[in-house]
Homo-oligomer: A and B are copies of this chain.
Amino acid sequence: VVVQLTGIAPVAETERSVTRRICKAIKAQIGAGRFGLGARLPSTRSLAAEWGVSRTTVTAAYEQLIAEGYLETRRGARARVAQSLVRDISTKQRPAPERIAHRLSRYGQRLDAFSLPPTPSGSVNVDFRYGDMSAADFPTLVWKKAVSAALLRRPKRLRYGDPNGSPELRAALQGYLWRARGLRCDAEQIVVVNGSQQGLDLCARLLLDPGDRVFIENPSYNLAQQTFIAAGAELIPLDVDREGMRTDGLRDARLAYVTPSHQFPLGSVLSAGRRQDLLAWAQRSGAYVIEDDYDSEYRFDIGPIPALQTLDRAERVIYLGTVSKTLSPTLRLGYLVVPAALRFAFGKAKRLADRHTPGLEQEALADLLASGAYERHVRRARRRNGSRRAALLSALSDILGDQVTVVGADAGLHVLVWLNQVPRAQEDELIARARAAGLGLHAISPLYAHPVSDGRPDLAGLVMGYASLSEQDIEQGVRGLKLILDHFGPSPCADG
């Protein structure tokens, strides 16, 4: 049977080459059943005449279809529809979307409980969102120079890098961690990761099985909680007071996640006694402690608190650092310091996760660390954020007075503000009203893994980040908060 290629449907303009159009037409004919299995195709001569193209073009189309398995040919014979083409899929009914079953792994199912953050809307004038940084603070020229230098000194060949991180960056980080944090380690213990989130995720994958227990501070960083929940772990929240996480509740578990230098979000420092308790517990029970040192560069009135890792004698602490608070959250650069015995496991997990952290970023950061530019930048960023902090603290005090109680202001890039006249039950309403007025406020409640905590007053609380705001914005934001708060006065009688 020779089938005529007449009545071909109009071809979309986006089809770029005639060859491609011929291929598409033949596939459509096969799909519509005009060519049966084994049917001979037109000769290249007749098809060329029909399309008004050269035979070479038609031959190219046939070769393409042979390569794709639609046609087959025997020496000297005309091309035929491949016998292996059992059924027509191009005309098959597409199942109705609701009938399509999508089944996820248990890991995927556990993610269902989480929501993605809403796309930031442009209507917010002042946003105290924690984690945002001012683009003006980023050392643009220094970074641009470092990236350009890295691009120009490229080796002859580009190949996958060391999964644990580039040797240059790890050596530079080793020196930095010793200078800035008193932390002694071998460069081999350092694993370069895509921001602290990847560090947490690698820890969860390597250390936790479903059902394992993990101690966390209550309240604590919500993505850390999600990471452990996604791993199938059982979270056990421990209350936080002025000495940091209460360690008297520690019992058998696989992991504890702590922010000992500056508890997130409450701001307390884990006391020396509790550090001892925590490390002794970890050693006794064979558990690990993740020390998230997320903002230790910013400590304003006292010196830096030594890392918990420096007290660890039993290879129990995994130290987690980031440049998200010093350079930019969008760079996605962080590092782990892991017990030497675990470095290969982390390297293998990192390799399967994404081979390695992007090369140019690693080189640029290594450059900044080696030249001292990073520490100069950190000192400048600390001064700038010190001014923002001062502006926020004095605005809170001057404008809001005893309407608020401010805690955790010694360090970091946020303060915690309890609203003395707003009960916790009205937190959501307050946030919504503020947003309607163009003011971005962020509640503490979502950070509590367990709603009941001894230390928590029955008040609405705000995590107020200030690193992305100017002093003017900060004052304007606090004035906006004042307006909102005046709707939440102690009693309606106070009105008028």
| Chain A contact residues, CB within 8 Å of chain B | 14, 16-17, 19-20, 23, 60, 63-64, 67-70, 82, 84-87, 89-90, 92-95, 97, 100-108, 111-112, 114, 116-117, 119-120, 127, 129, 131-136, 138, 140, 143-144, 147-148, 151-152, 154-163, 178-179, 193-195, 197-198, 201, 205-209, 212, 223, 226-227, 230, 243, 269-277, 279-280, 283, 286, 302-303, 305-306, 311, 313-315, 328-332, 339, 341-342, 344-345, 347-349, 351-361, 410, 468
Contacts and interface: CB of A to CB of B under 8 A. Distances in A.
Contacts of A328: 158, 359
A144 B148 contact: yes
Contacts of A277: 86
Given A105-B209, A135-B155, A197-B355, A69 B361 contact: no
Among A198, A273, A352, A360, max chain B CB count under 10 A is at A352
B100 A314 contact: yes
10 contacts: A68-B305, A94-B313, A108-B345, A114-B348, A127-B157, A157-B468, A158-B468, A193-B354, A331-B360, A353-B353
A385 to B, nearest CB: 14
Given A197-B355, A330-B356, 10 more contacts: A68-B305, A68-B306, A69-B273, A84-B274, A97-B315, A104-B342, A111-B349, A129-B159, A160-B330, A329-B355
How many monomers of this chain does the complex have?
A: 2
A278 B68 CA distance: 15
A313 B89 contact: yes
A358 B345 contact: no
A329 B158 contact: yes
Nearest to A311: B89
B347 A70 contact: no
Contacts of A127: 157
A225 to B, nearest CB: 11
Nearest to A232: B105
Nearest to A273: B84
